[in-house]
């Protein structure tokens, strides 16, 4: 019998980024096949190729032996492929039955809505997966796992043969997870093929039949789960060489500049964070996407102020209620989303660079274009920003140069604490190494740097110490010399006792 | 040099200035008294109130907001001014001060709802648009008007001072102050930043709430001033004073090249916009056209000017050498 789904040598590039480099992958009927990999390894792109959201550049797909060059979302659905995302994509104001009916989208004569039929069908589907949900309830009133069950019911209703689950348990409690696992096992027993993506290794060992590990857009291997243990899995995920040269660390950290104790922010998903940051050090903040790293930065910068806990700057306790207050205290934050938060694309780079220092360089609120221009020219020269002049709009620059403009804005504030959020994301290799050198220089000048990064080699290569976050709190504090296994193990929540094997 | 000249002619303000000159020349040839000094002063007198509202609307629209309540607030302030003077027995000066305080409070109400409750400005000021007018009508019960103001007060609206209409200095003062704020201070810089990207401005440490509140309070204060000048010009205060002015003001601002989405625009553009509309409507009277034509042509003027401003840029973009476009956007941003 041919496999349900077979991908052969699929490649996909976005501009210069090669997201998939010839991946082959197969899914059998009645199996749970786990897909593993670091952030950016190519999992999402692979899923999007299977659901028809992306068309591959080369390679081909086979569904139940039928060869295709590409799918689109409609043909993927018709082929029996369904995807259940981490954030259910249901209409919150419609009822469960209406959502299911919409998804299954059968047309009736005169587009008449047959309410009773919708309800009956929804009821039947929900019963099949053992979910106790009222089809007449508004989706808004359902919990996240209940919504996921509705999604699964939709998939069943569409008689899906291939179900993709993208981190389905990320927001579930323990008992909800068990319910979901039961549903997954039922699907498998019914002959459905499940592609299961998760960062939680214990789930993969509990559910999966086989596992495929992706790294840098390539498949590192597909193994039956019985042949692997956790340490081996982690090694497969990160076993890459460090090609990039990082600047020397050097220098001894000074006084504690920022001391955070028991910091909580319910809205931001940060709980009980305790952290010290010293002058002259780069503290790397590692963790998986959604671990609460950006959220912590947002609390420290006053965007979502803390509910409780203590923040001390140079020993002085303070309350940070807004970014303006954070700036006044000498805390600078170069945000992750450069285009939305880091730089105002329509404004000249000179305006962007002076935006956080209005009070200092424009006394009495009067603009002084000479001073502004000089400051901009200085940073353009010092940071090697490629732009036709201080009047160039931020949006006309490349990603790396925009990032340098964002950095210049915050260096101009002469901060004591610099928080960098994914400082080299979407930046080309040359600019990346320049930014790394700059970060190190700043630390050597006595700045306390907190560097959030999902790029593991970057965290390992740049950090004097590494804090690892998981579930909104810091779960491990590792020395600068830590290796990738230790960081990954902490980020994935592996028990400390298992580390010896790694 | 050639590049600079082309940029100059592509600028929105230049196009508007040319339209204004064309209007002037045409009406001067058609209407016999159009070009007289008296008529010019007449145009000024009739456009000061809308001009004040338009000038103060400019920073609001620069932040990406809107204030639909300024016309209604003008009516409410006119009534309260009359009430304080006639019924409460305040002197004209004290009543004027009281009215300005009311304007500031009313603007503060808009500001609070917009920045504190984070409601959209369109909805908030649509609400206060009805609210302010409704209060004005309730106070007068729809019939009461205030007249018989002293001649010394009517002077502001009807006489000349140093040879120019007496209300003109007030307008010049407000226009000058707002121009400086928008184009020469960090306030204006912050307003633009908020207009382009409110989140981006917040992440840059700009106190977005306070900066936004300022523009709405300023609008309230200036609307009160406009109410006093309106009352002095007509010699009476009634509840329907200034109805529809908010739309004239917004039209003038948009005609003047300020983007309704915020960020781009200028106060001098707004002044040209006010002038183009005022000259058109006055000129039509001299050309013996019925009043309705004025509305029609104002609409056409807005649409054609915007088209004239956008088309060359689109054409330039269509060609591969789109350099002039970039420079032009630039000059508008800096203006």
What are the pLDDT digits (tens) for A1-36?
788 899 989 998 876 667 888 899 999 999 999 998
Residue B321 falls inside a structural domain: no
Assess if residue B322 is contained within a domain: no
A390 has a chain B CB within 8 A of its CB: no
d(Cα B217, Cα A68) in Å, to the nearest integer?
Answer: 63
CATH architecture of A254-329+448-502: 3-Layer(aba) Sandwich (3.40)
Q: In terms of C-beta density within 10 A (0-12 exposed, 13-18 middle, 19 or more buried), how is residue B321 classed?
A: exposed
Which CATH number does the domain housing residue B197 bear? Answer: 1.10.3470
**Are A340 and B185 an interchain contact pair (Cβ–Cβ within 8 Å)?**
no
**Would you say residue B321 has pLDDT above 80?**
no
Which residues on B lie below 8 Å from A333 (Cβ)? 203
- Chain B residues in contact with A367 (beta carbon < 8 A): 184-186, 188-189
> Which of B193, B196, B199, B200 has the most A C-beta neighbours within 10 Å, making it the best mutation to test the interface with A?
B200
- Tell me, yes or no, whether B9 lies in a domain: no
- For residues B270 and B256, what is the distance between their CA atoms, to the nearest angstrom? 4
The 3-class secondary structure across chain B, one letter per residue, is: CHHHHHHHHHCHHHHHHHHHHHHHHHHHHHCCCCCCHHHHHHHHHHHHHHHHHHHHHHHHHHCCCCCCCHHHHHHHHHHHHHHHHHCCCCCHHHHHHHHHHHHHHHHHHHHHHHHCCCCCHHHHHHHHHHHHHHHHHHHHCCCCCECCCCHHHHHHHHCEECCEECCHHHHHHHHHHHHHHHHHEHHHHHHHHHHHCHHHHHHCCCCHHHHHHHHHHHHHHHHHHHHHHHHHHHCCECCCCCCCHHHHHHHHHHHCCCCCCCCCCCHHHHHHHHHHHHHHHHHHHHCCCCHHHHHHHHHHHHHHHHHHHHHHHHHHHHCCCCHHHHHHHHHHHHC
Confidence band, pLDDT 50/70/90 cuts, at residue A171? low
Residues of A in contact with B196 (CB under 8 A): 344-347
Q: Is B323 inside a domain boundary?
A: no
Contact between B139 and B79 (Cβ < 8 Å): yes
Q: How far apart are CA A394 and CA B200, in angstroms?
A: 12
The closest alpha carbon to B194, from B182, B184, B206, B181, belongs to: B206
Instruction: List the structure tokens of A263.
Output: 């910091």
Enumerate helices (H) and strands (E) in chain A, giving the number of each.
Answer: 17, 20
Nearest residue on chain A to B197, alpha-carbon basis: A344
Other C-beta atoms lying within 10 Å of the C-beta of residue B335:
17
pLDDT of res. B317? 65
Facing residue for A367 by CB, picked from B186, B204, B206: B186
Q: Minimal Cα distance from A338: which residue of B?
A: B200
Taking CB atoms and an 8 Å limit, are A341 and B187 in contact across chains? Answer: no
Q: Is B163 on the interface with A (CB under 8 A)?
A: no
Give the tokens for residue B254: 């948009």
Tens digit of each residue's pLDDT (9 = 90 or more) over B183-204? 999 999 999 999 999 999 999 9
CATH architecture of A5-238: 3-Layer(aba) Sandwich (3.40)
Predicted local distance difference test score (pLDDT) of residue A381: 93
Burial (CB < 10 A; 0-12, 13-18, 19+), residue B331, is middle
Higher pLDDT, A495 or A118: A118
Select from B189, B202, B204 the Cβ nearest to the Cβ of A367: B189
Beta bridge partners of A164: A83, A195
Question: What SS3 state is found at A160?
Answer: coil
CB A422 within 8 A of CB A284: no
* Beta carbons of B201 and A344 less than 8 Å apart: yes
Nearest to B269 by CA among B141, B136, B175, B137: B175
**Residue from the list B186, B192, B264 with its beta carbon closest to the beta carbon of A365:** B186
What single string gives the DSSP state of each residue in A125-138?
Answer: HHHHTT----TTSB
Share of chain A above pLDDT 70, in %: 92
- Kindly list the distances between the CA atom of residue A260 and the CA atoms of A309, A314, A449, B310, in Å, as whole numbers in the listed order: 8, 11, 14, 53
In angstroms, the CA B197 to CA A393 distance is 14
B203 and A362 within 8 Å at the Cβ level: the answer is no
Q: For residue A235, how many other CB atoms are within 10 A of its CB?
A: 17
Beta bridge mates, A273:
A263
How far is the alpha carbon of A396 from chain B, nearest alpha carbon, in Å? 10
What residues of chain B, 22 to 81, have a C-beta less than 8 Å from chain A? none
CB pairs under 8 A between A and B: 82
B329 to chain A, closest Cα gap in Å: 9
CB contact under 8 A, B264 and A362: no
- Subunit contact B184:A362, Cβ cutoff 8 A: no
**Looking at the 3D structure of chain B, how many domains does it have?**
1
Q: Which of B171, B271, B216, B270 is nearest to B64 (CA)?
A: B216
- Is B156 within the bounds of a domain? yes
Which DSSP string do the residues of A253-290 spell out, in sequence order? --SEEEEEEEEEETTTTEEEEEEEEETT-EEEEEE-TT
**Searching chain A, which residue's CA lies closest to the CA of residue B184?**
A367
User: First vs last Cα of chain B: how many Å apart?
Assistant: 19
Cβ-defined contact of B326 to A396 (cutoff 8 Å): yes
Q: For residue B100, with 0-12 CB atoms within 10 Å meaning exposed, 13-18 middle and 19 or more buried, which class applies?
A: buried
- B262 CB neighbour count, 10 Å cutoff: 23
CB contact under 8 A, A346 and B326: no
Mean pLDDT of A386-393: 90
Confirm whether B327 is domain-assigned: no
pLDDT of A184 strictly over 70: yes
More confidently predicted of A379 and A168: A379
Question: What is the radius of gyration, based on Cα positions, of chain A?
Answer: 25
Structure tokens at A267: 């809205």
Please answer whether residues A370 and A454 qualify as being in contact, where contact means their C-beta atoms are separated by less than 8 angstroms. Answer: no
A428 pLDDT above the threshold of 90: no
Alpha-carbon dihedral sign for residues B251, B253, B256, B260: negative
Q: Which residues of B touch A358 (CB under 8 A)?
A: 186, 189-190, 206
B181, closest residue in chain A (CA to CA) = A366
Residue B39 has pLDDT above 70, yes or no: yes
Indicate yes or no: CB of A358 within 8 angstroms of CB of B186. Answer: yes
The reply to whether A117 touches chain B by the CB within 8 Å rule is: no
User: Average pLDDT for residues B3-13, to the nearest whole number?
Assistant: 67
Nearest to A346 among B186, B205, B263 (CB): B263
- Could you give the 3-state DSSP secondary structure of residue A313? strand
Averaged over B8-20, what is the pLDDT? Answer: 83
Q: Which residue has the tokens 């928008």?
A: B182
| β-bridge partners, A310 | A261
Considering only the beta carbons, identify the residue of B190, B205, B330 that sits closest to A323: B205
Residues 6+ apart with CB under 8 A from A60: A7, A8, A9, A10, A67, A68, A69
- Domain assignment present for residue B4? The answer is no
pLDDT value at position A482? 84
At A40 the pLDDT is 66
Mean residue pLDDT across chain A:
86
For residue A358, the distance in angstroms to the closest alpha carbon of chain B comes to 7
Q: Work out the pLDDT band at B332, boundaries 50, 70, 90.
A: very low
Q: What is the pLDDT of residues A202-213, one digit of tens each?
A: 888 889 999 999
Closest residue on chain B to A301 (Cα)? B203
Position A300 confidence tier, pLDDT thresholds 50, 70, 90: very high
Provide the residue range defining the domain that includes B104: 47-310
Q: Hey, are the CB atoms on B205 and A356 less than 8 Å from each other? A: yes
CB-based contact B330 A409, cutoff 8 Å = no
Listed by number, the residues of chain B in 306-335 with a beta carbon closer than 8 Å to a beta carbon of chain A are: 326, 329-330, 333-334
Cβ of residue A114 closer than 8 Å to a chain B Cβ = no
Residue B11 domain-assigned (yes or no): no
Contacting residues of A for B326, CB less than 8 Å apart:
393, 396
Please name the member of A347, A356, A413 whose beta carbon is closest to the beta carbon of B333: A347
| Portions of chain A given CATH number 3.40.50.300 | 5-238, 254-329+448-502
Out of A346, A362, A393, closest to residue B186 by CB: A362
| Helices B168-184 & B267-286 angle (0-180, nearest 10) | 150
How far is the C-alpha of A143 from the C-alpha of A90, rounded, in Å? Answer: 12
Mean pLDDT of the region B149-168 = 93
What is the nearest CA distance from A422 to chain B, expressed in angstroms?
16
pLDDT at B329: 39
CA distance B34 to B287: 9
**Surface of A (50-109) touching B: CB under 8 A:** none
């Amino acid at each position: 019998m041919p496999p349900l789904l077979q991908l052969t040598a699929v490649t996909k590039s976005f501009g210069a980024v090669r997201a998939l480099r010839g991946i082959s992958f197969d899914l059998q009927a009645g199996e749970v096949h786990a897909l593993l990999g670091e952030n950016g390894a190519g999992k999402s792109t692979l899923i999007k190729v299977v659901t028809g959201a992306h068309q591959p550049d080369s390679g081909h797909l086979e569904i139940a032996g039928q060869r295709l060059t590409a799918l689109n979302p409609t043909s993927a659905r018709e082929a029996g492929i369904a995807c259940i995302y981490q954030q259910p994509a249901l209409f919150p104001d419609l009822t469960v039955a209406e959502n299911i009916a919409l998804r299954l989208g059968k047309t009736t004569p005169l587009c008449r809505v047959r309410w009773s039929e919708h309800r009956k069908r929804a009821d039947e589907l929900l019963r099949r997966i053992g979910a106790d949900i009222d089809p007449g309830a508004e989706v808004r009133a359902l919990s996240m796992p209940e919504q996921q069950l509705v999604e699964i019911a939709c998939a069943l209703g569409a008689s899906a043969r291939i179900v993709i689950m993208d981190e389905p348990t990320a927001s579930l409690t323990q008992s909800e997870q068990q319910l979901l696992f039961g549903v997954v096992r039922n699907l498998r027993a019914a002959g459905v093929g499940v592609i299961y993506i998760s960062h939680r290794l214990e789930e993969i060992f509990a559910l999966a039949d086989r596992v495929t590990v992706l790294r840098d857009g390539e498949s590192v291997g597909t193994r039956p789960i019985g042949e692997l243990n956790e340490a081996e899995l982690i090694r497969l995920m990160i076993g890459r060489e460090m090609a990039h040269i990082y600047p020397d660390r050097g220098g001894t950290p000074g006084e504690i500049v920022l001391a955070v104790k028991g910091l909580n922010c319910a809205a931001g998903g940060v709980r009980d964070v305790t952290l010290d940051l010293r002058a002259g050090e780069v503290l790397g903040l590692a963790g998986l996407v959604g671990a609460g790293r950006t959220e912590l930065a947002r609390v420290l910068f006053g965007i979502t102020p803390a509910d409780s806990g203590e923040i001390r700057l140079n020993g002085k306790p303070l309350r940070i209620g807004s970014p303006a207050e954070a700036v006044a205290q000498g805390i600078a934050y170069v945000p992750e989303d450069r285009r939305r938060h880091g730089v105002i694309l329509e404004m000249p780079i000179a305006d962007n660079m002076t935006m956080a220092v209005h009070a200092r360089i424009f006394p009495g609120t009067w603009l002084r274009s000479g001073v502004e221009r000089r400051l901009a020219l200085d940073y353009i020269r010092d940071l090697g920003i490629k732009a036709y002049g201080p009047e160039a709009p931020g949006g006309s620059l490349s990603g790396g140069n925009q990032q340098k403009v964002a950095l210049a804005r915050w260096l101009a504030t002469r901060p004591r604490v610099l928080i960098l959020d994914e400082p080299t994301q979407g930046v080309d290799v040359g600019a990346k190494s320049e930014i790394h050198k700059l970060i190190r220089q700043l630390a050597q000048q006595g700045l306390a740097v907190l560097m959030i990064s999902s790029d593991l080699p970057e965290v390992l290569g740049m950090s004097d110490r590494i804090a690892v976050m998981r579930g909104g709190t810091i779960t491990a504090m590792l020395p600068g010399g830590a290796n990738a296994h230790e960081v990954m193990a902490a980020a994935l929540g592996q028990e400390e006792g298992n580390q010896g094997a790694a | 040099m050639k590049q600079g000249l082309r940029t100059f002619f592509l600028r929105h303000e230049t196009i508007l200035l040319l339209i204004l000159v064309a209007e002037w020349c045409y009406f001067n040839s058609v209407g016999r008294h159009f070009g007289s000094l008296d008529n010019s002063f007449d145009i000024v007198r009739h456009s000061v109130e809308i001009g004040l509202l338009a000038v103060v609307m400019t920073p609001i629209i620069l932040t990406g907001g809107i204030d639909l309540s300024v016309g209604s607030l003008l009516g409410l302030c006119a009534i309260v001014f009359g009430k304080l003077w006639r019924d409460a027995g305040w002197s004209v000066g004290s009543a004027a001060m009281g009215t300005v305080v009311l304007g500031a409070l009313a603007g503060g109400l808009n500001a609070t709802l917009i920045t504190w409750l984070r409601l959209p400005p369109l909805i908030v000021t649509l609400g206060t648009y009805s609210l302010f007018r409704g209060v004005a009508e309730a106070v007068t019960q729809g019939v009461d008007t205030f007249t018989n103001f002293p001649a010394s007060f009517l002077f502001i609206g009807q006489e000349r001072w140093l040879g120019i209409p007496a209300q003109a200095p007030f307008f010049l003062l407000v226009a000058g102050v707002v121009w400086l704020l928008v184009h020469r201070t960090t306030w204006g810089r912050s307003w633009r930043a908020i207009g382009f990207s409110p989140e981006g401005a917040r992440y840059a440490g700009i106190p977005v709430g306070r900066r936004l509140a300022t523009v709405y309070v300023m609008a309230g204060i200036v609307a009160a001033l406009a109410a006093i000048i309106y009352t002095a010009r007509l010699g009476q205060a009634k509840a329907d004073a200034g109805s529809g002015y908010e739309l004239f003001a917004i039209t003038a601002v948009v005609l003047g090249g300020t983007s309704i989405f915020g960020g781009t625009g200028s106060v001098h553009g707004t002044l040209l916009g006010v002038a183009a509309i005022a000259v058109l409507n006055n000129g039509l009277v001299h050309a013996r056209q019925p009043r309705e034509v004025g509305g029609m042509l104002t609409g056409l003027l807005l649409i054609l000017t915007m088209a004239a401003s956008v088309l060359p840029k689109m054409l330039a973009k269509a060609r591969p050498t789109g350099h002039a476009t970039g420079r032009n956007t630039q000059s508008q941003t800096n203006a």
